[in-house]
Chains A and B, each alone.
Chain A
């Protein structure tokens, strides 16, 4: 009886990892994201605080999770780090006893990074962004573009993408890295051009 139960358990495979466990495994990358946004070393006290806060919020609001966990938790980490930057800016302004309005351009950029869907004309902005992304994707070679779509939109892993596209794993990793970089550079150049 016991052996039958054990073989059934073995057939069922390893127990699925729970959301809290998966979230805890993301700690190193969450810390790296926070350090990057705060422009601090990963061992800075604020980085550790923000990392703890981001993971706490992720666990607290896990019922709101729709879609893959990783980008969701990293989005929270980015949000928490940007909140800390804003708090620091306010604190600095108070300390200096200056009533200077916040730097509008940097605040706007921070807000955009924090929540790109915010704002009264969010729909229009989204349509405009989609138009830009569509235009720049058309300039990407087919390989990187397919790899990015399969990774971000279908949630496939590198190995699955390699099988699907019939290319070696290293090619997929290169396509994802270069494609993403090309996308970011083109979007930045486009935004600079549009802002001018």
Chain B
């Protein structure tokens, strides 16, 4: 029983223990839901063997316990860097391309009449300076609106994070 299995399956020698029962390794894999890596004969045995299915329960409880203990740790305690989602490069490139295509007519117009662009820049500059003065004015409404708006935005983001963050298991009895 030591023939080499395909790479996506556990080898026989890892799957069987003494007495014809499944090994701890196979039982742990089954308890973890890794059924696709356990050879079908081993799974068939576990399904019909009371001893092995009892041990699957043990392995599942051990897994549950280990997961709960590890979840207590701070991220800084980790040895391996957390798995990060890959940066969606393709989506960013497509987004930029669409934005560029959308802006293209305006850019072409602006390039055809550079004088207009030259006049627009000082107007935009004066507008930005005026907005800055209004916002920084201590008794001004604009500043007040900005402060309250920012506070509301922060509260909204905080509520969003609280709802999205994984919670500890809550079971109502």
Q: Which residue of A74, A83, A152, A157 contacts B66 across the interface (Cβ within 8 Å)?
A: A152
CB distance from B84 to the nearest CB of A (A): 9
Q: Mark A144-182, 1 if CB is under 8 A from B, else 0.
A: 011011111111111100001000111001101100110
CA distance A164 to B74 in the complex (A): 22
Q: Which B residues touch A169, using CB under 8 A?
A: 7-10, 37
A146 to chain B, nearest CB (A): 4
* 5 extra A-B contacts, CB within 8 A, seeds A133-B73, A170-B10: A32-B56, A145-B79, A150-B83, A152-B67, A169-B9
When distances are taken between beta carbons in the complex, the residues of chain A under 8 Å from B64 are 33, 71, 74-75, 78
> In the assembly, what is the distance between CA of A50 and CA of B167, in Å?
25
Query: 17 A-B pairs, CB-CB below 8 angstroms?
Result: A32-B31, A34-B57, A36-B60, A36-B61, A71-B64, A74-B63, A74-B64, A83-B173, A115-B169, A130-B72, A130-B73, A137-B77, A148-B70, A154-B82, A170-B11, A173-B14, A184-B65
Main secondary structure of the interface of A (DSSP, over half): helix
The answer, yes or no, to whether B166 is at the interface (CB within 8 Å) is yes
Query: Is A66 in the interface zone, CB < 8 Å from B?
Result: yes
Chain B interface bracket (under 10, 10 to 19, 20 to 34, 35 or more): 35 or more
A145-B79, A176-B32 as given contacts; A75 in contact with B169, CB under 8 Å: yes
Q: Please report B residues at the A interface, Cβ cutoff 8 Å.
A: 7-11, 14, 24-25, 28-34, 37, 47, 50, 53-54, 56-74, 77-80, 82-83, 165-173
Q: Residue A117 at the B interface, CB < 8 A?
A: yes
* A61 CB within 8 Å of chain B: yes
Q: Nearest Cβ distance between residue B154 and chain A, in whole angstroms?
A: 23
| Residue A14 lies at the interface, judged by CB distance under 8 Å to chain B | no
Contact flag A76-B171 (CB < 8 Å), given A37-B61, A152-B67, A173-B37: yes
- Which of A35, A57, A66, A116 is within 8 Å of B166, CB to CB? A66
Q: A116-B68, A154-B83, A183-B66 known; A174 and B56 CB under 8 Å?
A: no
CB <8 Å contact, B74 and A130:
yes
With a cutoff of 8 Å between Cβ atoms, the chain A residues found around residue B169 in the complex are 71-72, 75-76, 115
Which residue from A33, A43, A66, A152 sits with its C-beta under 8 Å from B70? A152
